[in-house]
Structure 1
């Protein structure tokens, strides 16, 4: 249990697997600023947990944004640091004297780490106003939903094609819903039965156990002997990537969306990848495919996620399986780290805070 102050604060990662709290005083509210009180903050089971566990490459090496290379030098991240949350939603608490188009109580989504309050420009907040009628918790999915949508766009799915999605965590299950909405037949693969059952409920035509012997032959038998038209690997496990490569048809593509760490144990690029001319496509949220960049940007990705939710094409609140008061954030992180299969989206509830 964390000892939370009455004034604005932020959660910290003080060392691997150690969550703390720091004071986070807010700047004076300018005439064109708004102050947001956090309602909910989601914990990412991929990128954020890599920082929590100490396995993120940013903790070992320096990322140079100019050369876009990991280089020798001081690491980009080090402990202690503000916890690396990027799934936040809050309500406007105060507005500056000259703000128009926003008012206290408006719901704003964004990425401001696990902070109790956040001060931003009104223009920034206006671009991130949650559409009316959506459950406020939907707002935590701006980033993770965009990751899933980016992967589906990279897959270039066509009506009547079969896509295999490896990994049925939160981004994988969002991708399942989006791929179904696109008209593709989805085969969903994961070791956890409850996740496969959920994928079937979302419209997947098959739910397969990733531990099933000879999974690639099973997928070929389900696709007339061809193999899948495309696979999306979104678990971040090298063995799953190898199986995705084995599961697709000759001259097909595998979208690689998982956040891998360490060496590629289990990946055999001299086998099906080489002999079947498989195309590996990196899908990463910092950009879009070259053929889409003139029409798609991050703002459109985010907006599309919430529009799909508003129109009932995807169900995002349904993915929330665990809610914790923010004072129990240390317990929430520890439970995710223990890797129980029944967890999908964990949400920290910031309710009942004092005004800033």
Structure 2
């Protein structure tokens, strides 16, 4: 059986997206069909729209999602129809060299659904991050589904599917922030503020938010940062050192991903401190640092892929913390919108006026019935 559903499609590079009817097949071996409840509008979707990730248009956008499994294919044991799930793009293979070393969070062979979703004329769609969740239904590999409790707001917990998890994980998993440490986060968009939340959750006592936009610094201060630095008005490195006894922070997280911000992170850390890069650079960017400084400052320089997240480990734990009131995921939901408002949401994202716009694929009443 083929399902006709509404979905948001980017047909060509840097063109407005459109809401269209697409065809989604029933699941085959190892696959799951998911009814989407909510999906966050992530910067990665904007990168797809602008052609920054692939030229393989048309693209079915959306990936930061919660849903309910409606059907599974042969051989699927991870999930069953009726399960509430968060979708992820790290479907662990279990057989690659990372998995065999006991490091599945670095799985090098994550997989997606084998069958293709298409436009009505048969044109094959490229699903964003192998998910494609700006749609009423989507088809994914069963391993891309992580079962969670159904009594949490899907709009909030669905953000763990990408950006919020990337920031939380950059602090907790990659940066390994410890109780009593100092942490500076450069860039206070959704990922950066999630890193601030992660540092606070891990027990950091000094959490410094740095951004060139004072509005974002103010938002970071309201969401857990202990100090703010407007780097359009003062030198970020000197400000971070001044707030840490002149030494620099134990951990500095670059949530922007530019050579300028990485150099700030590098020089704003204490000796033997850790630098974590979670902001995604563009292909043409290069970095030059004195090699003697790399040697002389010691410590570690790390890149954080998806917050070094293992969905089966991290999602249920973080959902529990959210339900206990210890992790305020609701604060990341700036607005709830429809599929037709996604183009406007991209504009707001570019302006920096929202942390996350979240598409609700079902009505408020239906969300209540679904357990939200």
Q: TM-score range by the shorter chain?
A: 0.7 to 0.9
In the alignment of these two chains, the number of paired residues is: 312
Structure 1 partner of 2:268: 247
Q: Secondary structure at the match of 2:146?
A: coil
Does the Cα contact within 8 Å between 1:154 and 1:255 map onto a contact in 2? yes
SS at match of 2:334: strand
- Which residue of structure 2 aligns with residue 164 of structure 1? 184
Change (3 A) 1:328 1:54: same
Please point out which of 244, 248, 256 is paired with 1:235: 256
The 1-side partners of 2:261 and 2:314 are apart by: 26
Separation in 2, partners of 1:239, 1:322: 32
1:345 maps onto 2:363 in alignment:
no
Residue 322 of structure 2 corresponds to 309
How far did residue 79 of structure 1 move? 4.0
Displacement of 1:211 in angstroms is 1.7
Pair 1:216 & 2:237 matched = yes
| Alpha-carbon shift at residue 155 of structure 1 (Å) | 1.0
The alignment partner of 2:167 has SS state of helix
The SS at the match of 2:25 is coil
Output the aligned Cα RMSD.
3.2
Map of 1:86 onto structure 2: 63
TM-score normalised by L of structure 1: 0.76
Match of 1:38 among 36, 41, 58: 36
Note the alpha carbon deviations across 1:122-170, whole angstroms, 9 max, x for none: x658x63332431121232223233223311211222211010111111
Equivalent position of 2:247 in the other structure: 226
User: Contact 1:48–1:84 at 8 Å: present in 2 too?
Assistant: yes
The structure 1 residue matched to 2:200, chosen from 171, 180, 196, is 180
Secondary structure of 2:238 counterpart? helix
Aligned to 2:12: 15
| Alignment TM-score, normalising by the size of structure 2 | 0.73
**128, 132, 152: which is aligned to 1:134?**
152
Q: Secondary structure of 2:194's match?
A: helix
- Selected match of 1:53 from 50, 54, 75: 50
- Could you tell me which residue of structure 1 aligns to residue 85 of structure 2? 108
**Residue 242 of structure 1: how far off its partner (Å):** 1.4
Cα distance in 2 between the residues matched to 1:26 and 1:170:
31
Residue aligned with 2:195, SS:
helix
Tell me, which stretches of 5 or more residues in structure 1 are unaligned? 1-5, 57-76, 289-295
> What are the Cα deviations for residues 209-251 of structure 1, in whole angstroms up to 9, with x where unaligned?
1223222122111111111111011122322111111211123
Deviations 1:296-351 (A, max 9, x none): 83421223332222222211121122333102322322443xx2122211222323
Of 186, 193, 196 in structure 1, the residue corresponding to residue 217 of structure 2 is 196
The CA deviation string for residues 262-291 of structure 1, in whole angstroms up to 9 with x for no partner, is: 4336x4412854653463111113x84xxx
Q: Report if aligned partners of 1:166, 1:233 keep a CA contact under 8 Å in 2.
A: yes
Q: What displacement does 1:93 show?
A: 5.4
Alpha-carbon separation, structure 2, partners of 1:298 and 1:99: 18
Cα 1:305–1:81 shift into 2, 3 Å: farther
Label 1:94 to 1:315 Cα distance change in 2 as closer, same or farther (>3 A).
Answer: same
